[in-house]
């Protein structure tokens, strides 16, 4: 059953936003064992582990360059428009974070050392850790290069304690990569992911069925995985700030305001999450979108907003080696009407400049724009993936 592991480290939280996408199993045979039961039996809770590498890109750089060890390190571009991809824990003491403009990071920490990302090495480590996971279960759902969900309810080693498995995995990751990972163990994905953040870095935390609902009561909605800044702001406007506030709302109210996601929010505020861990996900698209504080009305402003979106999509492409042929522009008007315009090339988009140019052309086809624009999104699909890319659909929210 659920054992408590060693608790050390300190809380820290940040996460990518990933939208659930379609799942494709490679074969019928695999479908039989490659995902866990959607409707979990309360008598026999599932055992889900979420593993996430600590300060991933930055730790790899510190591992491979002894001069960086113990120092505040940022992986990313140091130039004027550069952004921090990863910050070492030493850098975080100064307030340096992922996605922070490098100019601000340097202001917060003048001795910050910037290093260029080496995506090939990160991909290699990613494959190494996935090979370790595979020794315990075939039900592995990677969320990005450095993290994955594992369903170990029926694991290959015949171990009954999910906590023991998580500890073994952490130890093996250290032995094989000289990098640390944090683990969360719980009875569903939502809580396992939350748990892995609790004792970061180099920690393990278990959330039992008894603890789940109590532990999340005071949790702020913006800490929920899957609740992006726009949704959190909307919840706040409705007077919903914590899981407790969310729990105070009826299912009908949440569905009315959040559509299909309403019932998911209703459930997770109670520590309930029936989503199965899905192996063999195939990524369909990668996109970035931004909801603006004020509606945009001029074409010039819209063009200016497209640039960072294209950049963000391309950064992800670079990080994972993924490439795509179809560029889609999404526009949400002030009255919430959504339209999309796409263009497909015969070969994958070659670089960031091409991606940005196509998005500008797609925007130009909408001219004259009839109403204010609330949101713009850029995405790339018809993807050709390498073996390390497998998020079904990734939305990098601002
Ligand atoms: P995370 O797991 O979110 O962060 P982390 O591993 O750096 O730190 P920790 O988990 O200990 O809190 O992301 C994994 C890697 O993904 C990160 O090292 C760099 C990359 N990344 C970006 O490039 N941009 C981003 O905005 C984020 C959040 C991560
Ligand atoms: Mg990480
Ligand atoms: Mg991660």
Note residues around ion ligand 2 (Cβ under 5 angstroms). 52-53, 56, 146
Q: What is the pLDDT of residues 254-286, one digit of tens each?
A: 999 999 899 999 999 999 999 999 987 667 788
Ligand nearest to C-alpha 147: 3
pLDDT exceeds cutoff 50 at 326: yes
86, 118, 150 - which closes a domain: 118
**pLDDT reported for residue 336:** 83
Token readout for 189 is 């994905």
Domain membership of residue 301 (yes or no) is yes
The CATH number of whichever domain residue 112 belongs to comes to 3.40.1170.60
Residue 6: closest CA among 228, 223, 139, 183: 183
Domain membership of residue 256 (yes or no) is no
Domain membership of residue 341 (yes or no) is yes
Which of the residue ranges 155-164, 244-253, 254-263, 290-299 would you say has the lowest mean pLDDT?
155-164
Q: Quick check: CB of 396 below 6 Å from ligand 1?
A: no
How many Å apart are CA 105 and CA 91, to the nearest integer?
9
Q: Quick check: CB of 9 below 6 Å from ligand 1?
A: no
Token readout for 262 is 């309403």
Domain membership of residue 190 (yes or no) is no
Range(s) of the domain holding residue 84: 56-118
92, 118, 144 - which closes a domain: 118
Domain membership of residue 366 (yes or no) is yes
Q: Quick check: CB of 146 below 6 Å from ligand 1?
A: yes
Using DSSP bridges, classify how beta strands 113-115 and 73-76 pair: parallel, antiparallel or unpaired: parallel
Domain membership of residue 387 (yes or no) is yes
Q: Would you tell me how many other CB atoms lie within 10 Å of the CB of residue 110? A: 8
Residues assigned a catalytic role: 147
81, 102, 118 - which closes a domain: 118
Question: pTM score > 0.85 for this model?
Answer: no
Token readout for 174 is 């250290």
Q: Of all atoms in ligand 1, which is nearest to the CA of residue 396?
A: 26
First to last CA, the chain: 39
- Centre of ligand 2 from the C-alpha of residue 147, in Å: 7
Q: What is the pLDDT of residues 183-238, one digit of tens each?
A: 999 999 999 999 999 999 999 999 999 999 899 998 999 988 888 888 999 999 99
The CATH number of whichever domain residue 332 belongs to comes to 3.30.1490.100
Domain membership of residue 136 (yes or no) is no
Q: How many domains does the chain have?
A: 2
Burial (CB < 10 A; 0-12, 13-18, 19+), residue 313, is buried
**pLDDT reported for residue 40:** 54
Domain membership of residue 305 (yes or no) is yes
């Amino acid at each position: 059953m659920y054992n408590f592991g060693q608790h050390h480290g300190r809380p820290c939280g940040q996460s990518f936003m990933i939208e659930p996408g379609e799942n494709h199993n490679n074969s019928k045979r695999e479908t039989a064992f490659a995902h866990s039961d959607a409707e979990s039996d309360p008598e026999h809770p599932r055992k889900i582990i979420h593993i996430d590498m600590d300060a991933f890109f930055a730790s790899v750089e510190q591992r491979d360059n002894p001069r960086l060890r113990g120092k505040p390190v940022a992986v990313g571009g140091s130039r004027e428009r550069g952004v921090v991809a990863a910050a070492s824990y030493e850098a975080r003491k100064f307030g340096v974070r992922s996605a922070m403009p490098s100019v601000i990071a340097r202001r917060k920490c003048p001795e910050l050392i910037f290093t260029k990302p080496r995506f090939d090495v990160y991909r290699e480590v990613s494959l190494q850790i996935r090979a370790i996971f595979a020794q315990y279960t075939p039900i592995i759902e990677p969320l990005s290069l450095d993290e994955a969900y594992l369903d170990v309810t029926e694991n290959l080693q015949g171990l009954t304690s999910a906590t023991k498995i998580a500890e073994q995995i952490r130890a093996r990751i250290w032995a094989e990569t000289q990098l640390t990972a944090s683990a969360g163990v719980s009875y569903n994905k939502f809580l396992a992911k939350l748990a892995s953040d609790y004792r970061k870095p180099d920690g393990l935390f278990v959330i039992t069925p008894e603890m789940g609902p109590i532990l999340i009561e005071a949790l702020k909605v913006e800490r929920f995985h899957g609740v992006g800044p726009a949704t959190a702001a909307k919840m706040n406007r409705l007077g919903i700030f914590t899981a407790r506030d969310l729990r105070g709302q009826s299912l009908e109210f949440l569905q009315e305001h959040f559509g299909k996601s309403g019932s998911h929010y209703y459930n997770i505020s109670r520590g309930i999450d029936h989503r199965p861990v899905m192996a063999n996900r195939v990524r369909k698209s990668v996109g970035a979108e931004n909801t603006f504080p004020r509606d945009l009305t001029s074409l010039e402003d819209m063009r200016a907003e497209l640039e960072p979106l294209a950049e963000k999509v391309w950064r992800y492409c670079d990080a994972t080696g993924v490439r795509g042929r179809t560029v889609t522009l999404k526009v949400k008007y002030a009255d919430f009407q959504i339209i999309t315009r796409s263009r497909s090339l015969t070969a994958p988009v070659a670089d960031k400049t091409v991606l940005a140019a196509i998005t500008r052309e797609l925007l130009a086809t909408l001219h004259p724009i009839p109403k204010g624009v609330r949101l713009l999104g850029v995405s790339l699909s018809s993807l050709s993936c390498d073996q390390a890319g497998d998020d079904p659909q990734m939305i990098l929210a601002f």
